[in-house]
Amino acid sequence: MDFRLNPEPAMAISQYQETITETNAQDSPIRLLRRMHLTGREVQTLRYMAAGYTSEKIARDLYISKETVVSHRKNIIKKLGVANVTAAVAFALRNRLII
């Protein structure tokens, strides 16, 4: 029996990762924000989320209701196509949408 690994799947994964990296490198953060259709207020909310602020604190600092913050969070998650706030923040940091 031959237990050696077939190199083809590994090569395919490597090529896929290179394609993703090249595609992401072509998008500037501003271009990506436009493509994701994030509003200015959603970007502000995302920055506060990345800093670990609660919905109540974000609402106080931005002079909006807590319900509006919750709505922004839901919109951000939906627009970025991620599962939760942690994934949204990771996506934003990885793609330089926030610093």
pLDDT category of residue 46 using cuts at 50, 70 and 90: very high
* Residue spans per domain, the chain: 28-94
Residue predicted with more confidence, 99 or 21: 99
Q: Return all residues near 64 (Cβ < 8 A) that are at least 6 apart.
A: 41, 58
pTM recorded for the entire structure = 0.69
DSSP assignment string, 5-51:
PPHHHHHHHHHHHHHHHHHHHHS-HHHHHHHHT--HHHHHHHHHHHT
> How would CATH label the architecture of 28-94?
Orthogonal Bundle (1.10)
Please report, rounded to a whole number, the percentage of residues in the chain having pLDDT higher than 90: 55
Task: Return the structure tokens found at 51.
Answer: 């800093």
User: For residue range 2-35, what is the model confidence (pLDDT) as tens digits?
Assistant: 444 444 554 444 444 444 444 455 678 778 877 8
